[in-house]
Structure 1
């Protein structure tokens, strides 16, 4: 039974204190949701009680929650369970344990295909609101995970055993499905099983042993990439309402949040000025592998500053984080300073501020900036919004119906994404369609598509200006191209919008990053650049990367690639490293980055490394020398280069283990060269080689 304490007890106490102290102190009050009869872990619906606490909250108030699970069973309306609308200066604060959220908001949902239940939170038209210290989850999860137990030799069915405690629902589709490596619970480096279409519906093959079957009479094409023992995850839908949504608000902070399961997007934020996201975790629990079938965080048409830090995004099917701004074009011209425009996507009446910029693009993509003197919203039609804009000075001389533009009033002044990790993303880690972005200290691991895509998308987004990506690490990313572009790589830069075709990226810097284990092919580089004016790559390390950089000479201008390091290690590398002659074994001596090393005592033993410099020029060449008294005292190091082959002999019995320079040579960018190490006596020891760009 609900507690019958007076719901305003704490509020009245604070109100009395305020009256006693006088009006000079604008004190907020703490409002425990228990004062409104919401209690954790009792299994009773808490939706109305939490909404009552939020409704009562005033500027400066903190609505607090105890540790435990609050149940959301009865929707406030079709849009939300919990409503935060037209609020100023309130904080919703969950409990924490050792700094981590300890308050769970559990949304109860019905099992159905393509479900779109109301959001847990819908924050609308509010200012200075903070949400902190919560875990968001659903019951049941409209997704599941299992282990492949049988594959039809004819390719028509697959059977999967579902662990106890995970959903096992017959008749549900197989959307947003992926294969996983069983020993490490990482995405398998193959294509999606499915995305926005389902190959068939699941049936229960053996209820006792929790085995389900997916069967298609014409065959399941993904079985070519599937093995017994693989893990397989899938969702019952892929589109609908987000878990938490923020719209038309100002100065919003989302902090210390955990998302265990999302039915569609986890966080959707639009038309909001000054946004801070920090310490947000999206990570499954237990035997479950996926979190959600859509983007982790999607930010659209936000303005002011967008500061994002300490994200940990794991297991989303589409993209980890999207920041998007739409294009617009001229619909009609009324005078030399006034015109009507149509935005690429509807804005629902978002204000375009006086003094904000309009960047017009000439037919060659050159930008011409004007400032807004007046802007009037005229309405939405056909998925686009109409505005009448008056500029402070005359329009560019080339302005005409159809001239393309981007609007500073619909994009952030700056975006900072720092100290964040993305793992097991069946899409991209970051999709960035706006200006003035800094990405710093990002770690991306096992990201299926390009870890970062800059430019626009086939149907939305702008080519950004002033973008820096630095101090970041990319490991085993980009084994599949982004479907909309077909462009492979770990970082891709391209203008691929189907309608808005003249803009280009501008002033992009990629510096002090490390790219690891990307051996797919010479046409799938670490950095793949198109449609860019001003591209600088500096001090990047390419470790076991088959092709470091590809730059399209026909569409990229002002590019520079400097002081790169190209490292080829023998660990898990049969593409650019080979033991060409003799028998080799593992050594107990460690090498570069504490990696394993190899040795051989075979007569004429020889190991080779293929290196591909990113840019034509001079490079210092190094081998990683493993010093031991039994090593080869006269190992022959051969380096092919633009002028022929250089030969050096190295004594591996003396000195200190580490990088050892064997010469300086000139290489042609994008061309394969060979470094070899050949035994003379003792044990030939092999590990890694490096080109250091001068």
Structure 2
């Protein structure tokens, strides 16, 4: 136990250094005429109804070319349309030391809005509608800005009729919500209109047969009301008259990412809001050092939901992560995800070289780099090896690399076994709220995390999930501290039971669950060195099989000094896939 506690202490001290990452909060005070560029000087005028995409892009390019650190936007709405058949997106490529800064209201909320004005469309007809696409840059940031859509690519309303005999639902659309004839119905959810909280029912549309998505919403003639009806959907028994209902027009298109970063260093997002996302709100790929402070991803006005996919999706990132004072409500998938790819060993040319292969979406040029330390997931204990050289052999649907390591690879590493790219050196998620999301509040598939002083409330799946969630997504976790969090009424759905057979999903916790959802693995205890202490677990008695904490495929786990209220099963463990579990809460 002394060794484990030492690991936790060292990891905590390391994680504290995250607070020094990037630019200091409040550095806007250093903005002067000499070090700033004002977008108004390039023709970007708020509230004039004209597209500002080109003008803001020019201001950013000028700032970089002339070593100006700040690009300043005034209070008001900047329209991003592109015009002349172009996309609305602000593209930024290859810049250093640039920060976009908006204005604030008297209470400190952002008062500058970047508003994409795109034509409403369903998933397959969607054109690229991204706000910001930032690549190959370093020491960059966004502060005091709202990202929004007008019209928004989702709608909300009140259920007026559920006709089981004719398999028909009618909904009155709330004032101010978008709608159009022939809307598709993605990521629909049911809401309690008195509390504006998710109802404890199954997802209305997830895992439907593909044919159901061909059913469309059609306008119904009703005096003084905007009413739409849809027929032959399988969710009639999950809603009732008077319920709130929300749905989105897309779910699967990468064209709908709100803000996208790729291959960047030292990203800081501070006091940033997003009220509607076409798919993923914020996606960050293959980047190093990410700081997120005071971010809100939430519905606004009469909207019940925010987006049909994840809130923040961090893929194959490394370095240091700090998430402080994040608020996420109303996303259909997971509010915060940090994951890496599993990469298969395809060939073993010699004892220091592998040919690797993967088919999941990821950038072959940046996922593996010289000097990286990667995990080999094999044997009794995963092993690290450092990359000496890496060559991209194929960058198509199946990506291939030739990777040479500085020392011999583990003898247990065989063809068809797996490695994973580098993970976080340190990660902190603190002072944040995750509520009313139809997903898992935090999916973490990396290492060196402190999860502290957060609230997870009324999320449909587990509040927190650690470890692999699918065949393409890893990795296992190591050096995790979970303390002083409050978990309330999460997990009325066990997403992972039976996905690859009972052994892969039978144990789960509404508050915390360790995962292993990859068919290559079975009982390996690769989730390691986890401390769960001084948390509160409350109101999670939705079924007989759930606990507040569910532990599987894990070793060296300590559970202590937690409080349980209205919890039937405090801690559940899968004995055949765990070892060295110390549960002091029994």
The TM-score bracket by the shorter chain reads 0.7 to 0.9
Deviation at 1:342, TM superposition (A): 2.1
- 2:475 aligned with 1:466: no
Match of 2:90 in 1: 82
Alignment match of 1:493 (pick from 514, 518, 521): 514
Match of 2:122 in 1: 113
Match of 2:16 in 1: none
Match of 1:598 in 2: none
Match of 1:477 in 2: 490
Alignment match of 2:195 (pick from 160, 163, 184): 184
Deviation at 1:287, TM superposition (A): 1.1
Equivalences for 1:524-543 in 2 at 5 Å?
Answer: 524-543=546-565
Give the Cα separation in 1 of the matches to 2:94 and 2:480.
Answer: 34
Q: Deviations over 1:642-664 (max 9, x none)?
A: xxxxxxxxxxxxxxxxxxxxxxx
- Structure 1 residues 50, 407: closer, same or farther in 2, change over 3 A? closer
Deviation at 1:194, TM superposition (A): 1.0
SS for the counterpart of 1:50 is helix
Q: Does the aligned pair in 2 maintain the 1:79–1:122 contact within 8 Å?
A: no
Give the Cα separation in 2 of the matches to 1:38 and 1:355.
Answer: 43
Match of 1:16 in 2: none
Q: Which structure features the higher share of helix residues?
A: 2
Q: Bigger relative contact order, structure 1 or 2, given CA contacts below 8 A and separation 6+?
A: 2
Deviating more after overlay: 320-329 vs 69-78: 69-78
Q: Does the aligned pair in 2 maintain the 1:521–1:547 contact within 8 Å?
A: no
Deviation at 1:305, TM superposition (A): 0.6
Q: Deviations over 1:520-540 (max 9, x none)?
A: 123111111111122111111
- 2:73 aligned with 1:65: yes
- 2:319 aligned with 1:299: no
Deviation at 1:196, TM superposition (A): 6.5
Q: Deviations over 1:378-432 (max 9, x none)?
A: 23233x4322222222222233322322232xx2212211111011101111111
Deviation at 1:28, TM superposition (A): 5.6
Alignment match of 1:391 (pick from 393, 405, 430): 405
Structure with bigger gyration radius: 1
- Structure 1 residues 540, 378: closer, same or farther in 2, change over 3 A? same
* Stretches of structure 1 lacking an aligned partner (at least 5 in a row): 1-25, 565-614, 616-694
Deviating more after overlay: 365-374 vs 170-179: 365-374
- Structure 1 residues 184, 250: closer, same or farther in 2, change over 3 A? same
SS for the counterpart of 1:48 is helix
Give the Cα separation in 1 of the matches to 2:352 and 2:167.
Answer: 64
Q: How many residues align?
A: 533
Give the Cα separation in 2 of the matches to 1:179 and 1:155.
Answer: 21
Equivalences for 1:606-645 in 2 at 5 Å?
Answer: 615=586
Match of 1:48 in 2: 54
Match of 1:572 in 2: none
- Structure 1 residues 56, 493: closer, same or farther in 2, change over 3 A? same
Q: Does the aligned pair in 1 maintain the 2:51–2:83 contact within 8 Å?
A: no
Deviating more after overlay: 543-552 vs 476-485: 476-485
- 2:365 aligned with 1:349: yes
SS for the counterpart of 1:427 is coil
Deviation at 1:366, TM superposition (A): 2.2
Give the Cα separation in 2 of the matches to 1:66 and 1:179.
Answer: 38
Equivalences for 1:126-525 in 2 at 5 Å?
Answer: 126-154=137-165, 156-195=167-206, 198=212, 200-217=215-232, 220-240=233-253, 241=255, 242-343=257-358, 345=360, 346-350=362-366, 352-362=368-378, 364-382=379-397, 384-408=398-422, 411-459=423-471, 460-483=473-496, 488-490=508-510, 491-499=512-520, 504-525=526-547
* Structure-2-length-normalised TM-score: 0.87
- 2:55 aligned with 1:35: no
Q: Does the aligned pair in 2 maintain the 1:155–1:221 contact within 8 Å?
A: no
SS for the counterpart of 2:96 is coil
Give the Cα separation in 1 of the matches to 2:505 and 2:513.
Answer: 10
Q: Does the aligned pair in 2 maintain the 1:176–1:194 contact within 8 Å?
A: yes
Q: Deviations over 1:239-275 (max 9, x none)?
A: 2230000001111111110101111100000011111
Deviation at 1:343, TM superposition (A): 4.1
Q: Deviations over 1:21-40 (max 9, x none)?
A: xxxxx996211111011111
SS for the counterpart of 2:411 is coil
